[in-house]
């Protein structure tokens, strides 16, 4: 089985940027890598993504939102993640189950036990071996995310960026609570520095964690071999 790594954190913390950098490093070391993201990751789930992230859809209820995330995840896990892991590839996924706990649970206040049950149902218990939480103040993340939206005219995926600062603070705290609850799965990296600084922190954290997990190939990549 391949190795499953997820990237998590608030809007604009640098998940997509750091995931791409890691993909390049792994491929340079001849690792087979599948890069994917949630919500979405395959055609059916991408249609659900369009509904979930469209700022015009402010009428979606918290429960409908939660169920749509679960539906998209069920499709994505079966169609993309499990087959890639079975092929022995390293899977890098941009957001996964922890995002639902942080956003719909801590952010929206939905029942955490229900969310956990839905996550288990949707994933069939497929869990990341490692989760990189890129943490930064919400003002930092949101200003980056909003600048990106303004730079990409016609961007429609901004429903969450338009939420209040308080909402994003709850999400950030939710992520930090998760990391504290599952220290063996999470690595927390400070994302408030520049891209290169954060990249070095991600590499160092992964190198240490991979060695303790016995994943020699990835550990060598992180050591710069
Ligand atoms: N460390 C950094 N310092 C400054 N700008 C950054 C940094 N990391 C990423 N950026 C820029 O900030 C914007 C958001 O970064 P990125 O898309 O990687 O964040 P994200 O966590 O994936 O956001 P989202 O949750 O909205 O998908 C991008 O325009 C990116 O180029
Ligand atoms: Mg992103």
Q: Write out pLDDT tens, residues 193-219.
A: 999 999 999 999 999 888 777 666 565
pLDDT tier, 222 (very low <50, low <70, confident <90, very high otherwise): very low
**61 Cα to the center of ligand 1, angstroms:** 28
Number of domains forming the structure of the chain: 1
pLDDT of residue 167: 96
- Closest approach atom of ligand 1 to CA 10: 25
Bridge partners, residue 37, by sequence: 94
Yes or no: say if 203 and 19 are a contact pair by the CB < 8 Å rule. no
Residue 190: inside a domain, yes or no?
Answer: yes
Measure the CA–CA gap between 89 and 101, rounded to whole angstroms.
26
pLDDT of residue 225: 39
pLDDT tier, 171 (very low <50, low <70, confident <90, very high otherwise): very high
Residue 147: inside a domain, yes or no?
Answer: yes
Instruction: Return the CATH number at 61.
Output: 3.40.50.300
pLDDT of residue 150: 82
- Closest approach atom of ligand 1 to CA 147: 29
Determine the residue of 140, 144, 199 to mutate for testing ligand 1's pocket, defined as the one with the most ligand atoms within 8 A of the Cβ atom.
144
Residue 225: inside a domain, yes or no?
Answer: no
Global pTM? 0.94
- Closest approach atom of ligand 1 to CA 160: 26
Residue 42: inside a domain, yes or no?
Answer: yes
**Residue 187 phi, psi dihedral angles, 5° rounding:** -120, 135
CB atoms within 10 A of CB 58: 8
Residue 14: inside a domain, yes or no?
Answer: yes
Instruction: Using alpha carbons only, give the angle 72, 74, 79 rounded to the nearest 5 degrees.
Output: 95
- What are 11-50's pLDDT values in tens digits? 999 999 999 999 999 999 999 999 999 999 999 999 999 9
Measure the CA–CA gap between 102 and 167, rounded to whole angstroms.
10
Residue 92: inside a domain, yes or no?
Answer: yes
pLDDT of residue 161: 82
pLDDT of residue 151: 85
Residue 98: inside a domain, yes or no?
Answer: yes
- Torsion angle, CA of 31/15/189/141, rounded to 10 degrees? 170
Determine the residue of 7, 12, 143, 189 to mutate for testing ligand 1's pocket, defined as the one with the most ligand atoms within 8 A of the Cβ atom.
12
Q: Which residues surround ligand 2, an ion (CB under 5 A)?
A: 15-16
- What are 39-93's pLDDT values in tens digits? 999 999 999 999 999 989 999 999 999 999 999 999 999 999 999 999 999 999 9
- The ligand 1 site (C-beta within 6 Å) comprises 9, 11-17, 144-145, 148, 191, 193-195, 198
Range of the domain at 167: 3-220
Q: Report the chain's mean pLDDT, rounded to a whole number.
A: 92
Q: What is the end-to-end Cα distance of the chain in Å, rounded?
A: 23
Q: Which of 12, 83, 1, 104 is nearest to 41 (CA)?
A: 83
- What are 97-152's pLDDT values in tens digits? 999 999 999 999 999 999 999 999 999 999 999 999 999 999 999 999 988 888 88
pLDDT of 221 above 60? no
CB atoms within 10 A of CB 87: 12
Measure the CA–CA gap between 222 and 225, rounded to whole angstroms.
8
Q: Which of 46, 185, 175 is nearest to 129 (CA)?
A: 185
Residue identifier of the C-alpha nearest atom 23 of ligand 1: 12
Measure the CA–CA gap between 107 and 86, rounded to whole angstroms.
34
Residue 91: inside a domain, yes or no?
Answer: yes
């Amino acid at each position: 089985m391949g190795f499953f790594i997820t990237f998590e954190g608030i809007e604009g913390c640098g998940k997509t940027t750091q995931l791409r950098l890691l993909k390049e490093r792994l491929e340079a070391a001849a690792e087979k890598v599948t890069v994917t993201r949630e919500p979405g990751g395959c055609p059916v789930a991408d249609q659900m993504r369009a509904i979930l992230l469209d700022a015009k859809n402010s009428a979606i209820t918290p429960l409908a939102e939660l169920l749509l995330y679960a539906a998209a995840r069920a499709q994505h896990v079966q169609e993309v993640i499990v087959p890639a892991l079975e092929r022995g590839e390293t899977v890098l996924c941009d957001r996964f189950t922890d995002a639902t706990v942080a956003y719909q649970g801590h952010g929206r206040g939905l029942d955490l036990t229900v969310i956990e049950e839905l996550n288990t149902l949707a994933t069939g218990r497929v869990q990341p071996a490692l989760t990189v939480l890129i943490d930064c103040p919400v003002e930092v993340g949101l200003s980056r995310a909003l600048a990106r939206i303004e730079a990409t005219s016609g961007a429609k995926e901004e429903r969450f960026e338009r939420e209040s600062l308080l909402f994003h603070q709850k999400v950030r705290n939710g992520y930090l609570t998760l990391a504290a609850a599952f220290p063996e799965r999470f690595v927390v990296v400070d994302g408030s520095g520049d891209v290169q600084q954060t990249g070095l922190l991600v590499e160092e954290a992964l190198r240490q964690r991979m060695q303790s997990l016995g994943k020699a190939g990835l550990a060598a990549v992180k050591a710069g071999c």
